[in-house]
């Protein structure tokens, strides 16, 4: 029988030559895009990961809600997500913090520090809204007017958008008088008001001198106005002038 000799099988090529043949343009054309991308990353030796924005945002929200506990109103926190362009490495330990001199109130910048495995610090913009009631004037008020409950109304709003000394309770204002004229509908602030004098200039007052083991009372005439605790000069019956602290009920207390 005549034997047919098969052609010799080409030798198996290994190593760089085989990889070079596999990566010819014709071979690339037959590969899915995702495999091509992975192959390119492996060949480049530069596969990198990036910190997701969601865990950073969540950590900041939890931190600000904790910091805002006890504020006079309903707290709402919003945070601008971490900018993807930062390209920060993944973090296993996120530590939010407030820069020195900052409190959880209004529009603020919040820091986030990564302690592991790579150290980095980023800053996010946030807003802490405090929704509650505050006082506004129900009608125009003249300078020196004593304020009563009928002069005020309550409004709902974001307290973080108002000055820090905006009043929220009628008891904080009743019985005080205005330093100057105030327009209707104005948010009422503590610096707009003055406590009425406990002692008025020209008023006959009781002067009480208090010392160790003794208490002496006399009468005199106040030479100036004084809110409770303010210094008041008093002329006594013999013409002597003494200085003491104004107290409620037309009393001036003198401490030798």
The pLDDT score that the predictor gives to residue 196 is: 87
247 belongs to a structural domain: yes
48 belongs to a structural domain: no
Sort strands 204-211 and 251-254 into parallel, antiparallel or unpaired: parallel
Q: Given a cut of 50, is residue 19 above it in pLDDT?
A: no
**59 shares a domain with 119:** yes
**158 shares a domain with 190:** yes
**103 shares a domain with 115:** yes
Contacts of 177 (CB under 8 A, 6+ apart): 144, 145, 146, 147, 193, 194, 196
The pLDDT score that the predictor gives to residue 9 is: 54
With residue 40 as reference, give the H or E element that holds it. Answer: helix 33-44
The pLDDT score that the predictor gives to residue 248 is: 87
Q: What is the distance between the alpha carbons of residues 142 and 168, in angstroms, rounded to a whole number? A: 21
3 state SS of 74: strand
The pLDDT score that the predictor gives to residue 192 is: 97
**228 shares a domain with 212:** yes
| Residue 133 and residue 155 in contact, taking contact as beta carbons nearer than 8 Å | yes
**179 shares a domain with 167:** yes
Confidence tier at 11 by pLDDT (50, 70, 90): low
Q: What is the 3-state secondary structure (H, E, C) of 111-157?
A: EEEECCCCCEEEEEEEEEEEEEEEEEECCCECCCCECCHHHEEEEEE
138 belongs to a structural domain: yes
**148 shares a domain with 119:** no
The domain that holds 237 is classified in CATH as 2.30.30.760
Q: Given a cut of 60, is residue 15 above it in pLDDT?
A: no
Compute the average pLDDT of residues 8-32. 46
Q: What is the distance between the alpha carbons of residues 69 and 132, in angstroms, rounded to a whole number? A: 14
CB crowding 17-28: b at 16 or more within 10 Å, else e: eeeeeeeeeeee
With residue 67 as reference, give the H or E element that holds it. Answer: helix 53-67
144 belongs to a structural domain: yes
**125 shares a domain with 143:** no
With residue 208 as reference, give the H or E element that holds it. Answer: strand 204-211
With residue 17 as reference, give the H or E element that holds it. Answer: helix 16-22
238 belongs to a structural domain: yes
15 belongs to a structural domain: no
Q: Given a cut of 60, is residue 127 above it in pLDDT?
A: yes
Domain housing 65: 53-129
The pLDDT score that the predictor gives to residue 222 is: 96
220 belongs to a structural domain: yes
Classify the C-alpha dihedral 54-55-60-62 as positive or negative: positive
Percent of the chain residues topping a pLDDT of 70? 81
DSSP category for residue 201: T
Give the total number of structural domains in the chain. 3
| Residue 113 and residue 121 in contact, taking contact as beta carbons nearer than 8 Å | yes
**121 shares a domain with 58:** yes
Q: Given a cut of 90, is residue 89 above it in pLDDT?
A: yes
221 belongs to a structural domain: yes
**181-206 per-position pLDDT tens digit:** 999 999 999 999 998 889 999 999 99
| Residue 118 and residue 150 in contact, taking contact as beta carbons nearer than 8 Å | no
pTM to 2 decimal places: 0.63
């Amino acid at each position: 029988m005549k034997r047919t000799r098969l052609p010799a099988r080409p030798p198996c090529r290994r190593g760089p030559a085989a990889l070079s043949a596999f990566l010819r343009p014709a071979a690339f054309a037959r590969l899915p895009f995702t495999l091509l991308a992975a192959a390119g990353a492996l060949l480049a030796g530069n596969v990198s990961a990036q910190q997701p924005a969601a865990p950073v945002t969540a950590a900041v929200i939890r931190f600000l809600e904790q910091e805002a506990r006890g504020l006079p109103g309903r707290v709402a926190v919003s945070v601008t997500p971490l900018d993807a362009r930062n390209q920060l490495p993944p973090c296993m330990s996120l530590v939010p913090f407030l820069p020195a001199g900052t409190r959880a109130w209004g529009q603020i910048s919040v820091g986030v520090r990564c302690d592991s495995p790579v150290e980095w610090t980023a800053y996010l913009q946030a807003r802490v809204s405090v929704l509650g009631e505050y006082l506004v004037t129900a009608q125009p008020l003249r300078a020196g007017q004593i304020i009563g409950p009928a002069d005020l109304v309550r409004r709902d709003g974001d307290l973080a958008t108002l000055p820090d000394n905006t009043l929220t309770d009628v008891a904080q204002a009743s019985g005080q008088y205005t330093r100057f004229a105030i327009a209707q509908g104005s948010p009422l602030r503590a610096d707009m008001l003055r406590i009425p004098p406990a002692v008025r200039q020209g008023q006959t007052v009781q002067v009480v001198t208090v010392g160790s083991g003794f208490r002496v009372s006399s009468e005199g005439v106040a030479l100036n106005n004084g809110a409770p605790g303010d210094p008041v000069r008093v002329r006594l019956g013999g013409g002597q002038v003494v200085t003491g602290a104004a107290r409620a009920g037309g009393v001036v207390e003198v401490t030798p």
